[in-house]
Amino acid sequence: MRSTFGSPVLDAATRLLVPFMWLFAAYVLIHGHDSPGGGFQAGVILAASLILLRLVRGQGSRPNLSSRDAVTCACAGPLLYGGIGVASLLSGGNFLDYGVLPLPMDPVQVRVIGTLGIEAGVMVGVTGVLVLIFDVLAPWDDGTV
Amino acid sequence: MINRLIVLLFVPALAVLLQAAGDLPAVGDGTSPAFTHVSPYYLERAHDETGAPNFVTAVLADYRGYDTFGELTVILTAGLACLLILGTRDDPPAPQNRDRS
């Protein structure tokens, strides 16, 4: 593990901050249905925590996304979003009309779950893209990406 | 020469835009087109149709879900463009080969 500009103070502060950043990202994602927030904002918070870990503890530190996983996440997000759209198409509705998904709940509750699903897709995609852009801009000695 | 051409194109375009700006509705004008077409529909029906207490989410994720899908695709395209342009610089070949084998 290569410590980029780490120090014990930065390391301790990062260890303290990152779990709360993840918690806040989850809150912004889930509570985005009722309050300002949503997938884009949650993805940015999650990516900020991952980039903070990269800056302080080096790229190989764990837990973190590898560059390859970041590309996978960036592509999986739109795939999840479009997958929900196609699933509602196959369930007999219009594209992205996810109120018709065959889940054992109220139609309104199904809509809430569908909204959460596509917001989660947005979050995964935004996180992957931001980490990916950071990785291609930051030159690492081991020549990854 | 090219600067004079830019000025010749820019000044008339600016004049047209400034002229048109005078006809824009006032900020907060309730009778402007932005507030009279679909906005009342969203405000009246969004809660019953989508169950979302936050109308921004209802519009963003539900009524305009296709639009948000496009936004996400734009972000993905930007990331992939960065990867294609910046990710192909000359890597030191030795560590890569050692990692893969």
CA–CA dist B94, B101 (Å, integer)? 11
CA dihedral sign, ordered B71, B72, B73, B75: positive
Flag the least confident range among A23-27, A53-57, A65-69, A136-140: A136-140
Instruction: Kindly state whether residue A61 falls inside one of the protein's structural domains.
Output: yes
Residues of B with CB under 8 A from a CB of A: 50-54, 56-57, 60-62, 65-66, 68-69, 72-73, 75-76, 78-80, 82-83, 86-87, 91-92, 95-96
Instruction: Kindly state whether residue B62 falls inside one of the protein's structural domains.
Output: yes
pLDDT for res A75 = 93
pLDDT for res A143 = 45
Which residues of chain A neighbour B96 with C-beta distances below 8 Å? 143
CB burial string B22-51: b at 16+ within 10 A, e below: eeeeeeeeeeeeeeeeeeeebeeebeebbb
pLDDT for res A74 = 93
pLDDT for res A16 = 92
Cβ neighbours for A137, distance < 8 A, ≥ 6 positions apart = B82, B86
pLDDT for res B90 = 56
pLDDT tens for each residue of A66-115: 888 899 999 999 999 999 989 888 888 888 888 788 888 887 788 888 88
Instruction: Kindly state whether residue B53 falls inside one of the protein's structural domains.
Output: yes
**Selection from A132, A112, A94, A118 nearest residue A42 by Cα:** A118
What is the number of other CB atoms lying within 10 angstroms of the CB of residue B4? 8
Q: In this structure, what DSSP letter does residue A139 have?
A: P
Please state, rounded to an integer, the average pLDDT across all residues of chain A.
84
Domain housing B69:
40-87
Instruction: Kindly state whether residue B63 falls inside one of the protein's structural domains.
Output: yes
pLDDT for res B101 = 40
Domain housing A70:
8-137
Q: Under DSSP, is residue B91 helix (H, G, I), strand (E, B) or coil?
A: coil
In this complex, the residue of A115, A129, A142 whose CB is nearest that of residue B76 is A129
User: Which pLDDT band, with edges at 50, 70 and 90, does A130 fall under?
Assistant: very high
pTM strictly above 0.80 = no
pLDDT for res B100 = 45
pLDDT for res B94 = 46
CA–CA dist A49, A68 (Å, integer)? 18
Residue to substitute from B50, B63, B75, B91, interface A, most A β-carbons within 10 A = B75
Report the largest interatomic distance among the alpha carbons of chain B, rounded to a whole angstrom.
Answer: 68
Structural domain count, chain B: 1
Average pLDDT value for residue range A20-44: 89
Provide the ipTM: 0.82
> Distance between the two ends of chain B, CA-based, in angstroms?
59
pLDDT tens for each residue of B29-68: 778 877 788 888 888 888 777 777 778 888 888 888 889 9
pLDDT for res B88 = 66
Average pLDDT value for residue range B2-8: 89
Structural domain count, chain A: 1
Instruction: Kindly state whether residue A1 falls inside one of the protein's structural domains.
Output: no
Instruction: Kindly state whether residue B27 falls inside one of the protein's structural domains.
Output: no
Are residues A145 and A136 in contact, defined by beta-carbon separation less than 8 angstroms? Answer: yes
What is the number of other CB atoms lying within 10 angstroms of the CB of residue A112? 20
User: Which pLDDT band, with edges at 50, 70 and 90, does B89 fall under?
Assistant: low
Res. B99: pLDDT tops 50: no
> Between A and B, how many residue pairs show a Cβ–Cβ distance under 8 A?
90
Q: Which residue has the higher pLDDT, A136 or A45?
A: A45
Instruction: Kindly state whether residue A43 falls inside one of the protein's structural domains.
Output: yes
CA dihedral sign, ordered A42, A44, A48, A51: positive
Instruction: Kindly state whether residue B60 falls inside one of the protein's structural domains.
Output: yes
Which residues of chain A neighbour B60 with C-beta distances below 8 Å? 38
Q: How far is CA A101 from CA A34, A94, A104, A114, in A?
A: 22, 11, 9, 8
Instruction: Kindly state whether residue A128 falls inside one of the protein's structural domains.
Output: yes
